[in-house]
Protein backbone atom coordinates (compact mmCIF):
# COMPACT_ATOMS: atom_id res chain seq x y z
CA UNK A 1 0.00 0.00 0.00
CA UNK A 2 0.86 3.67 -0.09
CA UNK A 3 3.34 5.08 2.41
CA UNK A 4 3.73 8.83 2.95
CA UNK A 5 6.66 10.28 4.86
CA UNK A 6 6.61 13.88 6.08
CA UNK A 7 9.43 16.10 7.32
CA UNK A 8 10.13 17.88 9.54
CA UNK A 9 7.92 16.82 12.43
CA UNK A 10 8.29 20.25 14.05
CA UNK A 11 9.21 23.58 12.52
CA UNK A 12 9.63 26.99 14.08
CA UNK A 13 10.03 30.10 11.94
CA UNK A 14 10.10 33.81 12.62
CA UNK A 15 7.01 35.72 11.60
CA UNK A 16 7.41 36.96 8.06
CA UNK A 17 9.83 34.21 7.05
CA UNK A 18 8.96 31.25 4.81
CA UNK A 19 8.18 27.69 5.87
CA UNK A 20 8.65 24.55 3.78
CA UNK A 21 7.27 21.10 4.58
CA UNK A 22 8.24 18.09 2.47
CA UNK A 23 6.54 14.78 1.80
CA UNK A 24 7.49 11.69 -0.16
CA UNK A 25 5.17 8.94 -1.33
CA UNK A 26 5.76 5.38 -2.44
CA UNK A 27 2.88 4.51 -4.81
CA UNK A 28 3.60 5.76 -8.31
CA UNK A 29 -0.12 5.43 -9.09
CA UNK A 30 -1.02 8.16 -6.59
CA UNK A 31 -2.29 11.19 -8.44
CA UNK A 32 -3.97 13.47 -5.91
CA UNK A 33 -2.08 15.28 -3.14
CA UNK A 34 -3.97 17.47 -0.65
CA UNK A 35 -2.60 19.42 2.28
CA UNK A 36 -4.63 19.88 5.46
CA UNK A 37 -4.18 22.31 8.33
CA UNK A 38 -5.38 21.29 11.77
CA UNK A 39 -5.54 23.80 14.58
CA UNK A 40 -5.70 22.58 18.15
CA UNK A 41 -9.03 20.94 18.89
CA UNK A 42 -10.38 21.53 15.41
CA UNK A 43 -11.03 19.49 12.30
CA UNK A 44 -8.48 19.17 9.47
CA UNK A 45 -9.13 21.86 6.87
CA UNK A 46 -8.02 21.58 3.25
CA UNK A 47 -5.67 24.44 2.39
CA UNK A 48 -4.45 23.44 -1.05
CA UNK A 49 -4.29 20.39 -3.28
CA UNK A 50 -2.51 19.36 -6.46
CA UNK A 51 -3.11 16.71 -9.09
CA UNK A 52 -0.39 14.78 -10.86
CA UNK A 53 -0.88 16.57 -14.17
CA UNK A 54 0.30 19.82 -12.58
CA UNK A 55 3.78 20.63 -11.27
CA UNK A 56 2.98 23.64 -9.13
CA UNK A 57 -0.06 25.41 -7.72
CA UNK A 58 -0.26 28.66 -5.80
CA UNK A 59 -2.95 30.30 -3.70
CA UNK A 60 -1.88 33.65 -2.23
CA UNK A 61 0.83 32.87 0.37
CA UNK A 62 0.57 29.11 -0.06
CA UNK A 63 2.08 27.02 -2.83
CA UNK A 64 2.56 23.33 -3.47
CA UNK A 65 5.09 21.74 -5.82
CA UNK A 66 5.06 18.17 -7.10
CA UNK A 67 7.91 16.12 -8.55
CA UNK A 68 6.36 12.92 -9.93
CA UNK A 69 9.69 11.44 -10.94
CA UNK A 70 11.14 11.75 -7.46
CA UNK A 71 7.74 11.08 -5.85
CA UNK A 72 7.82 14.04 -3.55
CA UNK A 73 5.74 17.15 -3.00
CA UNK A 74 6.22 20.19 -0.81
CA UNK A 75 4.17 22.90 0.86
CA UNK A 76 5.55 26.43 0.85
CA UNK A 77 4.14 29.17 3.07
CA UNK A 78 5.54 32.65 2.52
CA UNK A 79 5.29 35.73 4.75
CA UNK A 80 4.20 33.58 7.67
CA UNK A 81 1.77 34.97 10.23
CA UNK A 82 0.91 33.86 13.79
CA UNK A 83 -2.36 32.33 12.55
CA UNK A 84 -0.34 29.93 10.41
CA UNK A 85 0.65 28.10 13.62
CA UNK A 86 -0.97 24.64 13.41
CA UNK A 87 -0.27 21.04 12.48
CA UNK A 88 -0.03 20.44 8.74
CA UNK A 89 -0.68 17.08 7.12
CA UNK A 90 0.13 16.00 3.60
CA UNK A 91 -1.75 13.13 2.00
CA UNK A 92 -1.78 11.06 -1.17
CA UNK A 93 -4.41 9.01 -2.95
CA UNK A 94 -5.16 7.23 -6.21
CA UNK A 95 -8.07 9.40 -7.13
CA UNK A 96 -9.50 7.94 -10.30
CA UNK A 97 -12.80 9.70 -10.87
CA UNK A 98 -13.79 8.49 -7.46
CA UNK A 99 -12.94 8.78 -3.86
CA UNK A 100 -9.97 6.68 -2.95
CA UNK A 101 -8.60 6.55 0.54
CA UNK A 102 -6.21 9.23 1.71
CA UNK A 103 -2.91 8.09 3.17
CA UNK A 104 -1.60 10.80 5.48
CA UNK A 105 1.85 11.84 6.51
CA UNK A 106 2.63 12.03 10.22
CA UNK A 107 2.15 15.78 10.43
CA UNK A 108 4.34 18.85 10.96
CA UNK A 109 3.77 21.12 13.93
CA UNK A 110 4.48 24.63 12.65
CA UNK A 111 5.08 27.39 15.18
CA UNK A 112 5.35 31.00 14.07
CA UNK A 113 7.47 33.07 16.44
CA UNK A 114 6.22 36.69 16.70
CA UNK B 1 -24.34 24.50 2.70
CA UNK B 2 -23.97 23.00 6.13
CA UNK B 3 -20.69 21.21 6.72
CA UNK B 4 -20.08 17.64 7.79
CA UNK B 5 -21.58 16.94 11.19
CA UNK B 6 -20.78 14.19 13.65
CA UNK B 7 -22.54 12.99 16.78
CA UNK B 8 -21.82 12.64 19.57
CA UNK B 9 -18.85 14.97 19.95
CA UNK B 10 -17.55 13.27 23.10
CA UNK B 11 -18.02 9.79 24.47
CA UNK B 12 -16.70 7.88 27.45
CA UNK B 13 -16.98 4.09 27.46
CA UNK B 14 -15.44 1.21 29.37
CA UNK B 15 -13.52 -1.75 27.99
CA UNK B 16 -15.71 -4.41 26.45
CA UNK B 17 -18.56 -2.07 25.59
CA UNK B 18 -19.57 -1.16 22.07
CA UNK B 19 -20.12 2.25 20.53
CA UNK B 20 -21.87 3.72 17.49
CA UNK B 21 -20.79 7.01 15.94
CA UNK B 22 -22.78 8.96 13.38
CA UNK B 23 -21.78 11.16 10.45
CA UNK B 24 -23.93 13.36 8.23
CA UNK B 25 -22.15 14.41 5.03
CA UNK B 26 -22.45 17.68 3.18
CA UNK B 27 -25.69 17.74 1.20
CA UNK B 28 -25.13 16.11 -2.18
CA UNK B 29 -21.99 14.26 -1.14
CA UNK B 30 -22.32 10.54 -1.65
CA UNK B 31 -18.97 9.32 -0.37
CA UNK B 32 -18.17 9.10 3.33
CA UNK B 33 -14.80 8.06 4.73
CA UNK B 34 -13.83 7.38 8.32
CA UNK B 35 -10.44 8.02 9.91
CA UNK B 36 -8.95 7.39 13.34
CA UNK B 37 -6.60 10.03 14.72
CA UNK B 38 -4.26 9.29 17.62
CA UNK B 39 -1.07 11.02 18.78
CA UNK B 40 0.95 7.87 18.16
CA UNK B 41 -0.44 6.65 14.84
CA UNK B 42 -1.62 9.90 13.27
CA UNK B 43 -4.52 9.86 10.82
CA UNK B 44 -5.38 6.36 9.68
CA UNK B 45 -8.02 5.34 7.16
CA UNK B 46 -10.75 3.04 8.46
CA UNK B 47 -13.18 2.62 5.55
CA UNK B 48 -15.08 4.43 2.83
CA UNK B 49 -18.72 4.10 1.81
CA UNK B 50 -20.39 5.10 -1.42
CA UNK B 51 -24.01 4.43 -2.32
CA UNK B 52 -24.46 2.27 0.77
CA UNK B 53 -21.52 0.02 -0.20
CA UNK B 54 -18.14 -0.24 1.43
CA UNK B 55 -15.65 0.53 -1.33
CA UNK B 56 -12.38 0.72 0.54
CA UNK B 57 -11.17 -0.67 3.83
CA UNK B 58 -8.11 0.09 5.93
CA UNK B 59 -6.11 -2.22 8.15
CA UNK B 60 -8.30 -2.34 11.22
CA UNK B 61 -9.70 -5.43 12.96
CA UNK B 62 -13.22 -6.66 12.34
CA UNK B 63 -14.37 -5.00 15.56
CA UNK B 64 -14.56 -1.83 13.49
CA UNK B 65 -17.50 -1.78 11.10
CA UNK B 66 -19.69 0.73 9.38
CA UNK B 67 -22.63 1.29 7.16
CA UNK B 68 -24.20 3.94 5.00
CA UNK B 69 -27.85 4.75 4.59
CA UNK B 70 -29.77 5.76 1.48
CA UNK B 71 -29.51 9.44 2.49
CA UNK B 72 -25.67 9.07 2.59
CA UNK B 73 -25.52 9.37 6.37
CA UNK B 74 -23.04 6.91 7.81
CA UNK B 75 -22.44 5.17 11.09
CA UNK B 76 -19.43 3.35 12.39
CA UNK B 77 -19.49 0.80 15.17
CA UNK B 78 -16.71 -0.44 17.39
CA UNK B 79 -17.43 -3.57 19.40
CA UNK B 80 -15.58 -4.98 22.41
CA UNK B 81 -13.80 -1.69 23.06
CA UNK B 82 -10.13 -1.72 24.05
CA UNK B 83 -8.11 1.01 25.76
CA UNK B 84 -6.23 1.54 22.50
CA UNK B 85 -9.44 2.53 20.74
CA UNK B 86 -9.34 5.89 22.53
CA UNK B 87 -8.99 8.37 19.71
CA UNK B 88 -10.58 11.13 17.69
CA UNK B 89 -12.77 9.58 15.01
CA UNK B 90 -13.18 11.78 11.98
CA UNK B 91 -15.48 11.34 9.04
CA UNK B 92 -15.06 13.10 5.73
CA UNK B 93 -17.38 13.46 2.78
CA UNK B 94 -16.75 14.17 -0.88
CA UNK B 95 -18.68 14.65 -4.11
CA UNK B 96 -16.93 11.69 -5.71
CA UNK B 97 -16.53 13.18 -9.18
CA UNK B 98 -13.53 13.61 -11.45
CA UNK B 99 -12.88 17.10 -10.09
CA UNK B 100 -14.60 16.65 -6.78
CA UNK B 101 -12.50 14.27 -4.83
CA UNK B 102 -11.74 16.78 -2.07
CA UNK B 103 -12.62 15.35 1.31
CA UNK B 104 -14.20 17.67 3.86
CA UNK B 105 -13.86 16.67 7.47
CA UNK B 106 -16.36 16.78 10.29
CA UNK B 107 -15.44 17.99 13.79
CA UNK B 108 -14.86 14.45 15.00
CA UNK B 109 -16.04 12.32 17.90
CA UNK B 110 -13.56 12.06 20.74
CA UNK B 111 -13.83 8.59 22.28
CA UNK B 112 -12.26 7.77 25.62
CA UNK B 113 -12.16 4.13 26.69
CA UNK B 114 -11.58 3.53 30.41
- Per-residue pLDDT of B58-74, as tens digits, reads 999 999 999 999 999 99
- pLDDT of amino acid A1: 81
- pLDDT of amino acid B56: 86
- pLDDT of amino acid B45: 94
A36 lies within 8 A of chain B by CB: yes
Altogether, the residues listed in chain B come to a count of 114
Smallest Cα distance from A76 to chain B, Å: 20
Smallest Cα distance from B14 to chain A, Å: 23
Q: Is B75 exposed, middle or buried (0-12, 13-18, 19+ CB in 10 A)?
A: middle
Smallest Cα distance from B105 to chain A, Å: 6
Enumerate residue ranges in chain A where pLDDT < 70.
96-100
- Per-residue pLDDT of B8-33, as tens digits, reads 999 999 999 999 999 999 999 989 99
Is A46 in contact with B98 (Cβ distance < 8 A)?
no
Is A98 in contact with B101 (Cβ distance < 8 A)?
yes
- pLDDT of amino acid B35: 96
- Per-residue pLDDT of B35-47, as tens digits, reads 999 988 899 999 9
A85 lies within 8 A of chain B by CB: no
Chain A neighbors of B108, CB-CB under 8 A:
43
- pLDDT of amino acid B101: 76
CA distance A110 to A87: 6
- pLDDT of amino acid A54: 82
- pLDDT of amino acid B98: 57
> 3-state DSSP call for residue A84?
helix
Report in angstroms the alpha-carbon separations of A48 from A58, A76, B3, B93, B97: 8, 11, 18, 17, 18
Do the beta carbons of residue A67 and residue A15 sit within 8 Å? no
- pLDDT of amino acid B100: 56
A53 lies within 8 A of chain B by CB: no
Average pLDDT, chain B: 93
Does B112 score more than 90 pLDDT? yes
A10 lies within 8 A of chain B by CB: no
Count of alpha carbons within 13 angstroms of residue A67, beta-carbon side:
10
- pLDDT of amino acid A75: 98
- pLDDT of amino acid A98: 53
Instruction: Find the mean pLDDT for residues B66-90.
Output: 97
Which of the four pLDDT bands, split at 50, 70 and 90, describes residue B99? low
Amino acid sequence: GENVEQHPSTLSVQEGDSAVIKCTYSDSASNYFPWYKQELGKRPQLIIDIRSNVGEKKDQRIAVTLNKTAKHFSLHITETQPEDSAVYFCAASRSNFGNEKLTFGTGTRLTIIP
Amino acid sequence: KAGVTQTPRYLIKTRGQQVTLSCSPISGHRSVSWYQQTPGQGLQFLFEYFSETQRNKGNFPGRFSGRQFSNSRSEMNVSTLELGDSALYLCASSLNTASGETQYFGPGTRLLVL
